[in-house]
Amino acid sequence: MVAVLAMKGAVMMCSYVINTIAFKDKLKKGISQADIIEESKKMGFDVIEVRSEFLNGRPEELERIKKVSERKNIGVFYSVNDVLYKNGQLNSKLPHYVKQMHQMGASNIKLNLGKCGYLNSAGLVRLLDGTFSLKIENNQTLAESDLVATQRFFRLIEGAAIPHISYCFDIANWSWLSATANEAAVALANVTDYVHLKNEMLIDQRRQVTDSLEKGDLDWRSLIKLLPMARYLGFEYASTPEVIAEDLEKVKSFLSSK
């Protein structure tokens, strides 16, 4: 199901994405991410987001992800556990990640920002050939996801008129950073077209991501309202298929009631 997201007078189509961390227990046992595509489709998701750390590194797996996703009519995103900028320069592994992305038939690739010393617009233009989009996401590390640095990066992108780059706003990860999720949402709303939904709370005196959107300290409904340009809503937390399916229905119900 693709929802119609209506906010501030605008109407926008919204697709639902499941990040494969949702199946963490299965993946830790060695099940391929290709094997959870059909289940993700049955749960009601439009896109599956493959994680780099759960790939076995063989081209055969990437090709199988592409074949199964095409057969099941589900989109593919690629989440890379790495940074766009390393030591102030574009990550030398980017061509490898882009190749993997194309092999699995993904439409975008997502990384954390890292430390951007200078923009390197020529390198980004060569990388972004128009066949895919690049998403920048906040992780839980200040050095790689600082709000001020992220704002500066997108100002530079706008000034250089580089297309196909936008932001993936993880609502929970801000709890580990210097800005609050609400502050960051206001600052980055105009560049955010993808939202990672999850919740967090203190458990045994340690802040942890929970196994349900409804369990935690964050008000995901109010945060969605602050991000009116979001076209994709992703579910990125380990849980059971039953809980995630319930959370998906709650999000759909919330959006349909607006």
Q: What is the CATH number of the domain that holds 218?
A: 3.20.20.150
Residue 218 structural domain: 3-256
Q: Which two tokens stand for residue 242?
A: 């039953």
Q: How far is CA 108 from the centre of its chain?
A: 10
Distance CA 151, CA 124 (A): 17
Q: What is the mean pLDDT of residues 192-201?
A: 98
Cα–Cα distance for residue pair 21/27, rounded to 1 Å: 8
Three-state DSSP class for residue 120: coil
Residues making up the chain, counted from first to last: 258
Is residue 205 scored above 50 in pLDDT? yes
Q: Are 105 and 132 in contact (CB under 8 A)?
A: no
Residue 120 contacts residue 90 (beta carbons within 8 Å): yes
> Within a 13 Å sphere around the CA of 182, how many CA atoms are in the beta-carbon half?
5
Could you tell me the pLDDT band of residue 12, with boundaries at 50, 70 and 90?
A: low
Q: What is the pLDDT of residue 212?
A: 98
| pLDDT band at residue 148 under the 50/70/90 scheme | very high
Query: In this structure, what token pair is assigned to residue 227?
Result: 């991000």
> Would you say the C-alpha torsion 62, 65, 70, 74 has a positive or negative sign?
negative
pLDDT digits (tens, 9 = 90+) for 229-253: 999 999 999 999 999 999 999 999 9
* pTM: predicted TM-score of the whole model, two decimal places: 0.94
Tally Cβ neighbours within 10 Å of residue 234. 26
Structurally, the chain folds into a number of domains equal to: 1
pLDDT at residue 231 in the model: 97
pLDDT of residue 257: 86
Report the candidate in 96, 136, 95 with the shortest Cα–Cα distance to residue 116.
136
Cα-trace Rg, the chain: 17
